[in-house]
Homo-oligomer: A and B are copies of this chain.
Amino acid sequence: MPEPTPTPGTVERLIGELNRLPGIGPKSAQRLAYHLLRASADDVRCLAEALTALKERTRLCSICCNVTDSDPCNICRSEQRNKEQICIVEQPQDILAIEHTGAYHGRYHVLHGAISPTEGVGPDNVRISHLMRRLDSDHASEVILATNTNFEGETTAMYLTRLIAPLNIMVTRLARGLPFGTELEYADDVTLTRALEGRQSF
């Protein structure tokens, strides 16, 4: 019988930790661990420190609930952002995507989730009450719903629309339709139906 395993404890432990990350299987974890073994001590230290800092230095912005090093976050603090526009997203990374377009100059609100009756996530489990207090005090003129276009995102958008409607604030949501570069014959039925329903004059 061969010995159980030749992997030294330390490397094996790192492979195990990496393997727990989403999208990183056993083979990738192994490849990463051996890459890091060959990498410079400085590089590995930088990565370890960045990980430690993640939990120690970040918090949620008290205004928009985005992840931030300083409170309020850069966007909420900025004088160049339109304070009356609030774009509601499910996750902090959604802000990255919208900022990357350069097409939005208002502020955000991060719900940190979406209402999902099937998974037992109700309105109280996402940051909706925080949003409602904020709408009241911020004199918002427009709320843009930028939740995902799946069942949970739609449910959340509908719930918020009903909640905000009485406040005399304009509620809009991101347009649905054909994504850039689509060939019509390959578009799915729901997308095509929504593109038809939302057709614009040309």
Contact = CB atoms under 8 A, between A and B. Distances in A.
A47 B51 contact: yes
Interface string A49-89: 11111110110000000111110011100101100000000
Chain copies in the assembled complex: 2
A57 to B, nearest CB: 5
A190 interface: no
Contact of A36 (B2, B14, B51, B75): B51
Contacts of A31: 22-23, 93
B22 A32 contact: yes
Query: Which secondary structure dominates where chain A touches chain B?
Result: helix
B21 A54 contact: no
A104 interface: yes
A20 interface: yes
A6 to B, nearest CB: 5
Most buried by B among A7, A17, A44, A66: A7
A23 B33 CA distance: 12
A35 interface: yes
A22 B69 CA distance: 28
A94 B49 CA distance: 30
23 contacts: A2-B80, A5-B99, A6-B66, A6-B75, A6-B96, A8-B67, A8-B68, A8-B73, A9-B69, A10-B50, A10-B58, A10-B69, A11-B58, A16-B50, A18-B47, A21-B36, A23-B32, A34-B91, A34-B92, A37-B92, A44-B51, A47-B51, A48-B48
Top 6 A-B residue pairs of the complex, sorted by shortest distance between their CB atoms: A48-B51, A14-B50, A8-B69, A8-B68, A17-B47, A48-B48
Interface of A: 1-3, 5-11, 13-14, 16-18, 20-24, 28, 30-37, 41, 43-55, 57-58, 66-70, 73-75, 78, 80-81, 91-93, 95-96, 99, 102, 104-105, 108
